[in-house]
Structure 1
């Protein structure tokens, strides 16, 4: 069995479009940079900060510890590749994430972005953000796929303890965060 996220695809799209979406998400996990749009590749090449040895070590630590938590919950753990973590300047972060915090997980893209201003020179802050966002990315993922003519709409439907749909958002606190 392939290591990596378990992805559930729901919605009214054809089986072909659902399978295509699942394969795109797996591609984003296993070959993250290759799955990006040409514009995203260019922005990351131009602006992303190279990770330090300490940042690589904190990512490895987060992978190890979150996999231990997953195992305790009866879920097979796995590592998120370091290339799926991006430390970027504030301007690019705001362009990609808006005003949503200082680190954000994009489940469908299988990536985590960090605002360098808040974590680049603060390993404690970066470490806590990496663990927090890694839990989000390793959480259960269901994606709703709908077809509208030639257009395919993909919505992260369930991520850990949150459920979304094209029209509604539910949050349940009965499920432990990140699972």
Structure 2
């Protein structure tokens, strides 16, 4: 099983990069293969195509969207590392998810949110969005709080987060397997 760890922030100085790397490190050595997929590396343009992504049959006119499609389609499951912006999902990641169709259908996802309240509202938004693709989303989630899981601007997760990550990975692998 191949699991994509989708780093969903494209901002300069993003906190999510440290989170995604921590998730990848925690997933190392497990039965499933985990791969970091950094949305920023794909430069996915705004969704303006006339062709509905669900009808595109995984074939896109824009090479950036095609590269994004190929990376996502190669995975059996995903961990979305998502910030919470203004009580919701980050626009760049939402656009990137919306830019694809069949690549997501029927697959499994887990959610790692971060922000001042642990990304809980973004995670709840994602549950609704991903349901549209008939995706299974694990109940287990990680809620990293910018007041408690960062120190002096550096990601320093609370001690209990290691077990929470293990529980999330276990739930994802069981649901996707």
With the length of structure 2 as denominator, give the TM-score of the two structures: 0.32
Structure index of larger Rg: 1
Which has more helix, going by share of residues? 1
